[in-house]
């Protein structure tokens, strides 16, 4: 049984107001082509299908096109909701979609959906567990569940009979750890206070493969067969060093699992550049990348405009020079509340342009601030 493991699509995501829908459609086309060329028996999507609970019409269209292609190729699709998804919205039309081979587990209703697919070696049971919190499970397993995510997932999994002699796959979207070993996370991925959201891999010992979502970096946790697929694109600059890929899983006889990573090629790479403006411009390469630039110049006007003449997709601009270091040092001594509106604007202007606000500009800003204050 061969299947493609995807997760954390976050369709509809924007970074610094830049829509990524074109980028997402581009990598989903790659996933479709990979599924067809490798003759997979299924495609698995382990949660965070959308970036927001109420996705835009354009985002739903991107997903619809992807699913339609897979249905047209007669490739079953198995989907669970993630913490970014609205379970109810993801569930809409799911009963009808099963006739086309699309199986969606959005909401948790006390049990777990099982989809059985067959190959030349027999049956494979796929268990679809949507993202759950203890409160969602408490009404069904009040005697077993506390505030622990681990206890909640354990209660759900122990409630259904698992045929250990058959090959089985769990699809889930949770923060999974292995004892004291935690997955590698990036700056954008925050933990629940008290670390109560973690679920231990020991719960999954009877499954041949556990297809996880929730962490954006592709990795295994505890053993080779418990894996986060990672996101197909870099969604934060803290992910710049990630190597995004889709996970191709091949289940042989019971206990035989072959796992392979197939790289995604992004429409626009994401990277960070650092140095003086002239040097970054004169040594420019891969100019269509999404860029976070940090300039070390002391005095420069319209830095962003000059950069975008060469790098059209500069999404974030910072400065690292004497002025910004001074502003940073000053901020540790003098709080924002202690500054006047003019002082705040002067600090902002100097940090962005590398030079102080001159007399004429200062008078213009002063007149504007006085006009605003007079209107309040």
Q: Is the confidence at residue 332, as pLDDT, over 50? A: no
Q: Is the confidence at residue 250, as pLDDT, over 70? A: yes
Helix (H/G/I), strand (E/B), else coil: 317: strand
Q: Is the confidence at residue 265, as pLDDT, over 70? A: yes
Distance of CA 76 to the CA centre of its chain: 23
Q: What is the pLDDT of residue 333?
A: 44
Q: Name the residue with tokens 């979502």.
A: 213
Lowest mean pLDDT among 57-71, 163-177, 230-244, 326-340: 326-340
Residues in contact with 251: Cβ distance below 8 Å, sequence separation at least 6, in sequence order: 1, 2, 3, 121, 124, 167, 169, 208, 209, 257
Q: Is the confidence at residue 156, as pLDDT, over 90? A: yes
Q: Band of the pLDDT at 70, cuts 50, 70, 90?
A: very high
Q: Band of the pLDDT at 188, cuts 50, 70, 90?
A: low
Q: What is the pLDDT of residue 172?
A: 97
6-24 per-position pLDDT tens digit = 999 999 999 988 999 999 9
Return mean pLDDT, the chain. Answer: 90
Task: Give the mean model confidence (pLDDT) for residues 102-113.
Answer: 94
Q: What is the pLDDT of residue 369?
A: 79
Q: Is the confidence at residue 330, as pLDDT, over 90? A: no
Q: What is the pLDDT of residue 17?
A: 87
Give the rounded percent of residues in the chain with a pLDDT score beyond 90.
72
Q: Which domains does the chain have, with CATH numbers?
A: 2-263 (3.60.21.10), 270-375 (no CATH)
Q: What is the pLDDT of residue 86?
A: 96
Q: What's the CA gap between 210 and 206, in Å, rounded?
A: 10
Q: What's the CA gap between 277 and 309, in Å, rounded?
A: 12
Q: Band of the pLDDT at 102, cuts 50, 70, 90?
A: very high
Task: Give the mean model confidence (pLDDT) for residues 39-47.
Answer: 98
Q: What is the pLDDT of residue 353?
A: 59
Q: What's the CA gap between 23 and 195, in Å, rounded?
A: 33
In b/e form, how buried is each residue of 285-296, taking b as 16+ CB within 10 angstroms?
A: eeeebbbbbbbb
Residues in contact with 343: Cβ distance below 8 Å, sequence separation at least 6, in sequence order: none
Torsional sign, CA 58, 61, 63, 69: negative
Q: What is the pLDDT of residue 21?
A: 98
Q: Is the confidence at residue 316, as pLDDT, over 90? A: yes
Task: Give the mean model confidence (pLDDT) for residues 290-294.
Answer: 96
């Amino acid at each position: 049984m061969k299947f493609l493991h995807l997760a954390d699509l976050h369709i509809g995501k924007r970074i610094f107001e830049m829509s990524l829908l074109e980028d997402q459609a581009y990598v989903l086309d790659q996933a479709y082509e990979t599924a067809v060329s490798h003759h997979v028996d299924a495609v698995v999507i382990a949660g965070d299908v959308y970036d927001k609970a109420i996705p835009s019409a354009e985002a739903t269209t991107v997903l619809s096109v992807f699913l339609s292609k897979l249905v047209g190729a007669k490739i079953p699709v198995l989907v669970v909701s993630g913490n970014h998804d609205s379970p109810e919205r993801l569930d809409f039309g799911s009963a009808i979609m099963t006739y086309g081979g699309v199986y969606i587990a959005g909401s948790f209703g006390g049990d777990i959906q099982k989809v059985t697919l067959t190959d030349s070696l027999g049956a494979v049971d796929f268990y679809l567990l949507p993202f759950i919190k203890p409160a969602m499970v408490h009404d069904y397993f009040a005697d077993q569940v506390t505030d622990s995510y681990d206890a909640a997932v354990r209660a759900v999994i122990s409630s259904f009979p698992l045929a250990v002699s058959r090959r089985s796959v769990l699809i889930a979207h949770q923060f999974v750890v292995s004892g004291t070993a935690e997955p590698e996370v990036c700056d954008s991925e925050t933990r629940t206070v008290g670390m109560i959201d973690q679920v231990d891999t020991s719960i999954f010992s009877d499954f041949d493969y556990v297809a996880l979502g929730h962490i954006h970096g592709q990795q295994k946790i505890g053993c080779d067969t418990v894996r986060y697929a990672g996101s197909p694109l870099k969604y934060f600059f803290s992910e710049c060093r990630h190597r995004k890929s889709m996970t191709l899983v091949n289940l042989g006889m019971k206990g035989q699992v072959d796992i392979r990573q197939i790289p995604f090629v992004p429409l626009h790479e994401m990277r960070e550049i650092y140095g003086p403006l002239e040097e970054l411009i004169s040594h420019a390469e891969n100019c269509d990348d999404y860029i976070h630039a940090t300039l070390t110049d002391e005095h420069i006007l319209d830095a962003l405009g000059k950069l975008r003449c060469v790098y059209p997709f500069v999404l974030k601009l910072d400065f690292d020079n004497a002025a910004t270091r001074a502003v940073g040092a000053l901020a540790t001594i003098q709080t924002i509340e202690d500054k006047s509106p003019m002082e705040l604007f002067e600090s902002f202007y100097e940090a962005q342009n590398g030079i102080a606000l001159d007399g004429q500009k200062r008078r213009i800003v002063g007149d504007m601030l006085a006009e605003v204050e007079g209107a309040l």
